[in-house]
Amino acid sequence: MSPLSNIDGKTIIKFIESLGYRFVRQRGSHMRYKHSNGIKITIHVQGKKVIKPGKLKGLLNDMNISSQKFFSYLKQ
């Protein structure tokens, strides 16, 4: 099982907000966040539902964040 296989939406939101992203808008379960450097990301979050590893990896790539930085956040 991949280490990215059991991450829920609320954990992702806390991580994104800790990086300085701010909530801009929401439409249904799609939440839009924006960083001061101009990077915009959209997350499909359904509460405690687990995010698939491929989608999580793509999200981290969009934010230019390494998986190791994400794992160090989870260990805190």
Mean pLDDT by 10 residues, the chain (76 residues): 72 91 94 93 83 88 88 84
Please report the pLDDT score of residue 10 as a whole number.
Answer: 86
> What is the pLDDT at residue 1?
45
Q: Where are the domains of the chain?
A: 7-75
For residue 51, the model assigns a pLDDT of: 86
Q: How many angstroms separate the CA atoms of 65 and 54, rounded? A: 15
Cβ atoms 43, 49 nearer than 8 A: no
Fold of 7-75: Metal Transport, Frataxin; Chain A (3.30.920)
Q: Which among 63, 50, 73 has a CA at the least distance from the CA of 4?
A: 50
How far is the C-alpha of 47 from the C-alpha of 4, rounded, in Å? 17
pLDDT value at residue 23: 96
Number of Cβ within 10 Å of residue 28's Cβ equals 7
